[in-house]
A = this chain, B = another copy of it.
Amino acid sequence: MNKPTPEQRDVAPRPAFARWLGTTNDVTRGFLAVGRIPGLINMAGGLPAPELYPAAELAAIARRVIEQHPRDTLGYGPIEGLPELRDALAARFSTPALRLGRDNILITSSGMQGLDLLGKVLLEEGDVIAAQFPTYLGALDAWRPRRPTYRNTVLETPGFDPVSAMTGARFTYSVPNFSNPTGRLVPLSVRQALVDAAHRTGTWLVEDDPYGTLHYDGSPLPRMIELSGRKQPGQTYDGPIVYMGTFSKEIAPGLRIGWVVAAPDMIAALTMAKQGSDMCTSGVTQHIALGALQSGLVERLQPAIVSLYRERRDALCAALAEHLADWFDWEVPVGGMFVWAVARDPALDTDRLLPIAAQAGVCVAPSSVFDSSGQNRCALRLNFTLNPPAALAEGVRRLAAALRKMREEG
């Protein structure tokens, strides 16, 4: 039976892992580690305020849906998701110009899974992604196993030409509402130009929209998928926009429920990928999300979320103006979860700042992790949703102390 002799035991070398694992970011691991320092003020992640979770309501909904729908909640469900939840989302995102049916909707186990499935169905090794730059770290993580090439796309560049940006790319990636990490709102003219270019080039245009409901000033702009729908009046949507959303910011991230809205052939391809990824999303969490939508809980929560986050955004920006105006420039974001602070001195290295700031008791996200090449090192992403105003002010004071210390150390 080929039993090894004792000398042969445990001597075989461990085989190598797949190559993409060699390209993951140490900075990310670093800030996960500093997250464990007691008293640390965490402004690094994109975490909601946990005091907003409607625990009592969700606990009651959870009990009710399992009792009333034991087979739907506890059994295997359709790969594409619970039909009632797909219908509810189709209705939610339909407008006079955008006609959506069940076949336009895929339920995903988190927004992140939508990005992973997209990479699976579109990317071969080396394929080009035209990605809004700087780029959401989680998207870079999701696509790393496919080993793509990035064409950094800066929508603010004067004379930005979306047709050249998209031509030859497998898809374009954008976060038009309060982008992660920059917090920027992509203006209507640029949205329209991106949509026009997607129709013209045939390149898929991903509209990742986890923050769309977190709008603090002014009115929401039309979604790109709606602008695309206007080009196909009276038809069920079949255009090139792939819209992605999540309940993580509207209900609770612990449900891990997201969705994709897209042309039926894209939904069918993503469904094949989901079959081999997790077969289907939990019926328990899908039914809780459906219950929260249908009972009006999601709508009722919205004003409290927006008002709490608006106050925190204002507190963070006031503290930045008081303590960091000499060091950084930033725009006050009209929505979302982040302020993007760009160093006035381009030689300031925010990767170097990270451990010094952690020692001072504050954790922030350095710009390098939002760049597939890791080279953009002179900005910071600051989250304002997790901490109350006093903690945000203290976090900024600690950051200022860390910057002074770094300057003294030279």
List the interface of chain A (C-beta within 8 A of B): 1-4, 8-10, 12-15, 17-19, 21, 24, 45, 47-48, 50, 53, 55-56, 58-60, 62-64, 66-67, 70-77, 109-110, 112-113, 115-116, 120-125, 138, 141-145, 161-163, 170, 189, 192-193, 196-197, 199-204, 231-232, 239-240, 252-256, 265, 269, 272-273, 275-285, 288
Contacts and interface: CB of A to CB of B under 8 A. Distances in A.
A70 B254 CA distance: 9
A298 to B, nearest CB: 14
Contacts of A280: 256
A18 B141 contact: no
Q: How many copies does the complex hold?
A: 2
Contacts of A125: 125
A288 to B, nearest CB: 7
13 contacts: A3-B192, A8-B199, A15-B122, A24-B272, A48-B75, A50-B70, A59-B64, A62-B63, A72-B254, A74-B253, A120-B145, A254-B283, A256-B279
A66 B55 contact: yes
A21 B269 contact: yes
A10 B263 CA distance: 13
A62 B64 CA distance: 10
Contact of A76 (B145, B253, B276): B253
A62 B121 contact: no
A112 B277 contact: yes
